[in-house]
């Protein structure tokens, strides 16, 4: 069962949900989406850097290996 925005807040504050915890949950979700996007972009960038290093090294130079977190 979902909580209506005019229902009492389940945290027990006796405030309406929209005036109490609704924004906290939305902010938490936004933060989680941003973190997921950041780590996805970080992974993509590390893959691009590794491909660049793999393609740009030649026989004259030792192959560079970078350990990216």
25-54, pLDDT tens digit by residue?
778 888 899 999 999 999 999 999 988 888
At residue 33's C-alpha, the angle toward residues 20 and 37, to 5°, is: 160
pTM as predicted: 0.48
The Cα–Cα gap between 16 and 22 comes to: 9
- The domain locations on the chain are 7-69
Residues 20, 11 contacting (CB under 8 angstroms): yes
Residues whose CB falls within 8 Å of the CB of residue 43, separated by 6 or more in sequence, listed in order = none
Q: Which band of pLDDT confidence, cut at 50, 70 and 90, is reported for residue 58?
A: low
């Amino acid at each position: 069962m979902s909580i209506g925005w005019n229902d009492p807040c389940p945290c027990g504050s006796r405030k309406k949900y929209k005036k109490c915890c609704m924004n906290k949950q939305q902010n938490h979700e936004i933060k989680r989406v941003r973190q997921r996007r950041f780590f996805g972009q970080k992974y993509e960038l590390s893959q691009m850097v590794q491909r660049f290093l793999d393609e740009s090294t030649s026989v004259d130079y030792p192959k560079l290996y970078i350990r990216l977190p």
